[in-house]
Amino acid sequence: MKRKLISALLALTMVISMTACGGGSGASGDSGSGDAAADDGGAAADAGTDAAADSGAGQEDAAPVEGGSADENTLTVWTWDPNFNIYAIQKAAEIYAQDHEGFKVEVSEVQSDDIETRLTTAVAAGDLSTLPDIFLMQDNSFQKYATNYPDIFTDLTSSGIDFSQFSSAKVAYSTLDGKNYGIPFDNGAVINCMRTDYLEEAGFTIDDFTDITWSDYMEKAKVVLEKTGQPILTSQAGSPDLIMMMLQSCGSSLFNEDGSVNIAGNEELKQMMDIYVQMVADGTLVEVTDWDQYIASLNNGTAVSALNGCWIMASITVAEDQSGKWAITNMPKLDGVSNATNYSNNGGSSWAISSNCQKVDLAIDFMNSTFAGSNALYDDVISKGALATWAPAGESEAYNESVEFFGNDAIYAKIVEFATHTPSNITGAYYYDARDAVGVALSNICQQGADIDSEIQTAQETVEFNMGG
């Protein structure tokens, strides 16, 4: 019996390896036939990116990447997600190659955490030669790296890229001391994605949730719970995401301009925590154990809405049977806070050109003519759910098309507009420490009934301790 089992497993592994190899060569075969007339270098590279993009893969056409590429016309890139960032950079390369024969990018698929590990390792080891020409960085981490390791970036302030065309909140993430270190990429504008069928059941429409305040929202949430039996929101337990979004919506941060911690005595923060705790107590906000459960609550219809960065749409649209039952509006704003808005941001990332890049002019020109200057690029990547923060993109036709899944609304233009209203916030080098401390405070309050004021004080002290003062 055991022998049979082993042979079966062995055979299975061999079959998988063989067909996997076959699959790979099949895909690269496509790259030949994809553009039959391609015999010069430029078009061949083009076809390569084409095929890779078609299959959503970045592997087939990538030659070894050790630091910068030796080829004059090739840029090396570290980024993650074949269906999103890798797709976008390859599409950009394809568009750029139309005017610049022979241009191509060599993409190495690296997760965002791993990019950070590699950057830290390279800096600590004093060997920056391993860095690629271009890498992508999470907006929330950008300040940390720009503050601690400015040597890894190329200063883009006087590069000719027009940063005023991007939403200012987005540019702020990659700006330190007035210097621009990054080219903004995808949009993390907060949207309030709601199930219209549930709203109807409770006697509401999406307009009842547009431009409203949190107190109004909380009252309506109770009605929705009563009529439909479903909580209006779900949230990952202990995750401060929602609080961070609320905080940014009124231009407040966990840090002051001078970098000092702004947790204790931050009235807005306290008000938000009160709202969160109250909603949990009302049953209108249900905490789930992890991210997978959160996505499940949206797909399974056990939550009426999702309040998150606009990238959440990609997870919502997976449930094809719910097409037409969703609508998008802006988030509620805080009561009695002077700078409060209905707009915020969660997530998103920016491209950076490394200091190891030997072809800075090429890299800047590439970025300037694509991510900071190509409607064609943004019109294409919208199919993957990657929305621009580059304002001119919002005016194109593709952004004004109606989307059936979201009740035939022109949601893309709407989201780009949301992004332009978003107040900027201060992330700083200790953003994640502060965020985690707030998360701990939140779960202590919700789960153990701890006192809000003392938890906020503890959070303040924790972050100050981590900052070494």
Name the minimum Å distance from CB 318 to other proteins: 5
**Angle at which helices 452-466 and 267-282 pack, to 10 degrees?**
130
Distance CA 42, CA 59 (A): 18
Segment lying near other proteins (by CB under 8 A), choices 255-263, 293-301, 325-333, 453-461: 293-301
**Per-residue mark of binding to other proteins, 349-378 (x: CB under 8 A):** ------------------------------
Identity at 412, one-letter amino acid code:
Y
Of 56, 84, 50, nearest in space to 185 by CA:
84
- Furthest-apart CA atoms within the chain: distance in Å: 74
Q: Are 26 and 63 in contact (CB under 8 A)?
A: no
147 binds other proteins (CB under 8 A): no
Binding-site member from 36, 59, 183, 255 for other proteins (CB under 8 A): 59
Q: Which is nearer to other proteins, 295 or 357 (CB)?
A: 295
CB 270 within 8 A of CB 294: no
- Shortest reach from residue 329's CB to other proteins, in Å: 21
CA-nearest of 90, 88, 50, 78 to 136 is: 78
Number of residues that bind other proteins (CB under 8 A): 61
Site for other proteins in 60-99 (CB under 8 A): 60, 62, 64-66, 80-84
Smallest gap from residue 58 Cβ to other proteins (A): 7
Segment near other proteins (CB under 8 A), from 192-200, 232-240, 309-317, 332-340?
A: 309-317
39-58 positions binding other proteins, by CB under 8 A = 55-58
The owner of tokens 């900027």 is 424
Told to check if 118 binds other proteins by CB under 8 A, we report: yes
Which residue's CB is nearer to other proteins, number 58 or number 251? Answer: 58
Residue 140 CB-density burial (10 A; 0-12 exposed, 13-18 middle, 19+ buried)? buried
- The 379-418 contact track toward other proteins, x by CB under 8 A, reads ------x---------------------------------
Indicate the residue among 21 and 410 with the shorter CB distance to other proteins: 21
Does residue 27 interact with other proteins by CB under 8 A?
A: yes
Q: Give the residue carrying structure tokens 């039952």.
A: 325
Nearer to other proteins, 213 or 236 (CB): 236
Contact 348, 170 (CB under 8 A): yes
> Residue 134: which of 165, 117, 110, 162 has the closest Cα?
110
Q: Is there binding between residue 116 and other proteins (CB under 8 A)?
A: no
Asked if 359 and 133 count as a contact pair (C-beta separation under 8 A), the reply is yes
How many Å apart are CA 349 and CA 408, to the nearest integer?
28
Give yes or no for residue 281 binding other proteins (CB under 8 A).
no
As a whole number of angstroms, the distance between CA 413 and CA 306 comes to: 19
Q: d(Cα 443, Cα 446) in Å, to the nearest integer?
A: 5
User: Can you give the binding site for other proteins, defined by CB under 8 A?
Assistant: 2, 5-6, 9-10, 12-13, 16-24, 27, 55-60, 62, 64-66, 80-84, 107-112, 114, 117-118, 121-122, 124-127, 129-130, 292, 295-296, 299-300, 311-312, 314-315, 318-319, 385
